[in-house]
Chains A and B, each alone.
Chain A
Amino acid sequence: MKLLTHNMLSSKCLKNVNVGYPLSIKVEEMITSVVDFNPEFIARIIPKLEWNALKQAVNEVGKDSCLPNNLIENFENDEDFLKKVHHVLLEIEIVNGCLVCPETGRSFPINNGIPNMLLNEDEV
């Protein structure tokens, strides 16, 4: 699971959960790999992100230093900034661990990079 995918995931579908976002990450195994950098692509993705959720995720996976605290203006033209966002969104992968609902504490396991978000019938 890349952090861009994590930025979209939510446990809102759980019964009695209002927002269910962001899910906190508990890492057991993490890898980083090299992904081709496409500055235009990243510049287009950034406005779709929940920046605070990304900040929290980066913090939880121990990569705090990789990302500036605030979304800067004119990020489209700041290649250094785009590269940093590129790295955290696409190059960090959680292989094993879990995601935790902020409201209920329900834990969703991540195995082999795949979050298992299936809910039991009595949870929805």
Chain B
Amino acid sequence: MKILIICNAGLVNGLSEEVLVDSLKEYGELSNILLPPGKSYCFVSFTTVENSKSCCDSCNGLLNIAQDNKPIYLCFIETLPNVVDEIVWDTLPPGLIILENFINDDEEKLLLELPNFRSLESGNMKNRQVKHYGFEFKYNINNVDKNDPLPDEIPNACDFLWPRLPDKFGNFIPDQCTVNQYLPGQGIPSHVDTHSAFEDPIMSLSLGSSVVMDFKNGNKHYCILLPGKSLLIMSGESRYLWTHGITPRKFDIVKKDDRCNLSVRGLRISYTFRRLRHGECMCDFINKCDSWSQKTEQFSLDDNEIALKLEEIHVHQVYENIADHFSDTRHKPWPNIVEFIESLEDGSILVDVGCGNGKYLGLNKSIFNVGCDRSSGLINVCKDRGFQCFTSDCLSITLRDGSADACICIAVIHHLANSERRLNAIKEIVRILRPGGRALIYVWAKDQFSNNEKSNYIKEDKRLDQVADADLTEVVPSVDGVQLPIHINRTQFKHKDLLVPWKLKRCSENKGTFLRYYHVYEKHELENDCGNIPSVKITSSYYDQGNWCVIIEKIKK
């Protein structure tokens, strides 16, 4: 047994890695340290049992590095606890290359002196000083203005670097360079360089002190030491998908060959070389891609076969799988919909197209309510609740023409994967309405902040939320080559066609997460669709809790 637990000191009560490593190094080489976030304990181990024992004997109750300079208390344990966000060393994200000693001492000295950070030209960031060549990188928009080059191009003094690049990057000629000066204690927040701003790869030359850079992707966290005079090349996945950043602190814990060492930071300057991108980014990492939203149009959701397949996998199958849980979360009728139903004349026939669990059926006892849905799971729930219902698709409602006095269609049409199908669904509702009959349609809005108010979807309390965030970064599902971005629940929509995760209660594994396809509507999009149908008059349109809504009337002939 080599592992020691320090029972009364950890990150939450003020112990730092720096103090820990500094205080214990006299007992031998540390092989591991682990300070779990938010805990008042931590773990250390030495390369030999003897060292661990000597540390324990000398420090237990005697070494005053706990809170208020109190002594720490240690004991031996057999295994370390499992940690979810375990930091990984000695592994590089795909596409990342580090070339050590890329330049020599003289070249380093030359480049260290090149940017004059005392001059007024250089920008002073919160955490560091920066200077730009070629084009200014504008931090407020995370992009460059491609039409506004700086007078200073990348200094010719850098030219010697490019012939040294690996063959694979032989064509790389940067036209933008940002020089960052980091004092000890300064860092840079984790980020992915804007896809549409720069090409692949991005290169960064480190001068002066070494530093640890954190690369993160989902719950993967790789720590990578960037020594002075080394060149970092980020390409492919490491450029497009992984975030990189530097934690602001004055030291780094560096783990190499199972040894933990404290590395004190000094002045570090980095040259980041990039090439401006002209046109849209065409990468496969769409969840991090700002060019994606413009691109979705190019994909062939317009192809009916692809649209059908997408709906089958990401709508129909999902609702069958989540029917019971979905039904448990759908109780409270929305007031404006209730008002429409209550406004119907006694003896009216109301058809709820896509009725789900039937939460709007039976509210008005003076009318005849009938619901249809294509999910047999949800229709069974309706039937069990005593409602008249049948299984049917909203594009082929198996009712005779003009048989309904009124229709409601709530949160249904946005599951159809192309504009033709969405329009046909409205036409089908109009077909079953009698002349003079009215329909109320709700679809999800892209803008969840209309009227400067957050919709309930955005502000709903996380603790009450049945829908949890899925792991958003790993897999981007594809249907016949159509890849869609996965939405982060309870946030504003970034895309018009997307997948929204539904996580089953009490199901922690990923198999409990289902992705539903949605087309979220722009303002006026639903009205424009309705306006394209000749026999339709729009009597009212409004925004309600993150949805665009219309009431339409079938014109009497």
Contacts and interface: CB of A to CB of B under 8 A. Distances in A.
Contacts of A21: 400
Given A8-B349, A12-B400, A114 B366 contact: no
Contacts of B388: 1-2, 4-5
B396 A114 contact: no
Interface SS of A by simple majority: mixed
Contact of A13 (B349, B396, B405): B396
Contact of B396 (A7, A116, A124): A124
A37 B373 CA distance: 28
A98 B298 CA distance: 45
A118 B368 contact: no
Nearest to A41: B347
B376 interface: yes
A112 interface: yes
A30 interface: no
A115 B390 contact: yes
Given A9-B390, A119-B396, A114 B380 contact: yes
Scoring B345, B346, B391 by chain A CB atoms within 10 A of each residue's CB, the highest score goes to B391
B400 A9 contact: yes
B269 to A, nearest CB: 63
- How many chain B residues sit at the interface, stated as a range, is 20 to 34
Interface in A40-64: 40-41, 43-45, 48, 50
Contacts of A119: 393, 396, 398
A21 B399 CA distance: 9
Nearest to A47: B347
A96 interface: no
A102 interface: no
A117 interface: yes
Nearest to B370: A5
A13 B347 contact: no
B194 interface: no
B372 A40 contact: no
A114 B349 contact: no
A3 B366 CA distance: 18
Given A2-B388, A116-B390, A44 B347 contact: yes
A121 interface: yes
B379 interface: yes
B403 interface: yes
Contacts of A124: 395-396
B195 interface: no
Interface string B377-400: 001100100001111110111111
Contacts of B383: 112-114
Given A10-B399, A45-B368, A48-B405, A115 B391 contact: yes
A7 B400 CA distance: 9
Given A118-B391, A121-B308, A4 B368 contact: yes
B398 A11 contact: yes
Contacts of A50: 400
Contacts of B434: 48
B86 interface: no
A5 B404 CA distance: 11
B398 A40 contact: no
**Nearest 10 Cβ contacts at the A-B interface:** A44-B347, A13-B396, A117-B398, A10-B400, A8-B403, A115-B390, A117-B392, A116-B391, A5-B388, A8-B399
20 contacts: A1-B388, A2-B388, A4-B368, A4-B388, A5-B370, A8-B399, A9-B398, A10-B398, A10-B399, A10-B400, A40-B346, A41-B347, A44-B348, A45-B347, A108-B398, A114-B379, A114-B391, A116-B391, A118-B374, A119-B396
Interface of B: 308, 345-349, 351, 366, 368, 370, 372, 374, 376, 379-380, 383, 388-393, 395-401, 403-405, 434
